Amino acid sequence: MRKLHHVAAACAISAIMLSGSVLAQAPAAAAPVKEETGKDIAFNRTKGNCLACHAMPTVPDAESTGTYGPPLIAMSARFPDKAKMRAQIWDATVMNPSSSMIPFGKHHVLTEAEIDKVTDFVYGL
């Protein structure tokens, strides 16, 4: 009887372990991932965080706490060449060595794709 008990317990443990590994391999129903927009990145405190230094008066939900940097308004007029504005976001110290703006590209704070999205967003302000 004792042997039968051990065999039954071993079978039960094996079944539990097997079902656990099968469940672990089953793909979870993934929620649809929303692709981040330039605005999302610019407003994200762990990424762009543009609102820490810049006001965005034309964006209704931009709750700016910073006035250190220039307001982000009429950007296409201020930067007719969009590539120059992207370069400014990538590393502002190239044009102004004493700039306090974070070199988002040079220091790998943002990826190239994220910089492109932020550039497109800011250029439209």
Position 59 in a domain? yes
Position 31 in a domain? no
The whole domain housing 42 covers 38-123
pLDDT at position 124, please? Answer: 94
Q: Is the pLDDT of residue 8 over 50?
A: no
Q: Which tokens belong to 112?
A: 């190239």
Segment 79-90 shows an average pLDDT of 96
Q: Is the pLDDT of residue 1 over 60?
A: no
pLDDT at position 61, please? Answer: 86
Position 23 in a domain? no
Q: Give me the number of domains the chain comprises.
A: 1
What percent of the chain is modeled with pLDDT above 90?
58
Position 26 in a domain? no
Segment 7-22 shows an average pLDDT of 49
Segment 59-88 shows an average pLDDT of 90
Please state whether the predicted TM-score (pTM) of the whole model is above 0.85. Answer: no
Containing H/E element for 84? Answer: helix 82-90
∠ CA 100-119-45, nearest 5°, is 55
CATH for 57: 1.10.760.10
Would you place residue 98 in the very low, low, confident or very high pLDDT band (cuts 50, 70, 90)?
Answer: very high
Q: How far is CA 91 from the centre of its chain?
A: 18
How high is the mean pLDDT of the chain?
Answer: 82
Q: What is residue 50's DSSP assignment? A: G
pLDDT digit string, tens, across residues 15-73? 455 455 444 555 566 677 788 999 999 999 999 899 999 989 888 888 877 778 899 99
HSE-CB at 10 with a 13 A cutoff on CA atoms is: 6
Position 12 in a domain? no
